[in-house]
Amino acid sequence: MKRVALFFTGVALFTGLGLSVSAQTAIAQPTTTSIADVAVDRTADHNALRAMLIEAEKAINEGNFDNVIQFLNPNVSVIYQNAEVADGLAEVKAFQARMFNTSGGVLKSFKTKVSADKLTKLYGDTAIAYGTSVDHFSFVGGLEMDLTSKWMATLIKENGSWKVVSLQFSSNLFDNPLLTSAKASSKYFGIGGLIAGLLIGFFGVRFFRKKK
What is the rounded CA–CA span in Å between residue 86 and residue 154?
A: 15
pLDDT, residue 200, reads: 60
Q: Enter the pTM of the model.
A: 0.65
Residue 36 is assigned to a structural domain of this protein: no
Residue 211 is assigned to a structural domain of this protein: no
Residue 158 lies in domain = 43-181
Residue 208 is assigned to a structural domain of this protein: no
- Residue 97's SS3 state is helix
Residues 6 or more apart in contact with residue 164 via CB below 8 angstroms: 71, 72, 73, 76, 153, 154, 155
Contact 88, 74 (CB under 8 A): yes
Q: What is the CATH number of the domain that holds 140?
A: 3.10.450.50
Predicted confidence pLDDT, tens digits, the chain (212 residues): 444 444 444 444 334 434 344 444 444 444 444 444 457 899 999 999 999 999 999 999 999 998 999 999 999 999 998 889 999 999 999 999 998 876 778 898 999 999 999 999 999 999 999 999 999 999 888 889 899 999 999 999 999 999 999 999 998 867 665 555 545 444 444 555 555 555 565 555 454 555 55
Residue 2 is assigned to a structural domain of this protein: no
What is the rounded CA–CA span in Å between residue 1 and residue 3?
A: 5
Residue 207 is assigned to a structural domain of this protein: no
Q: How many domains does the chain have?
A: 1
**CA nearest neighbour of 93 among 126, 68, 117:** 68
Residues 6 or more apart in contact with residue 139 via CB below 8 angstroms: 106, 107, 108, 145
- Give the distance, in angstroms, between the CA of residue 21 and the centroid of all CA atoms in the same chain: 59
**CA nearest neighbour of 99 among 90, 110, 89, 88:** 110
Residue 5 is assigned to a structural domain of this protein: no
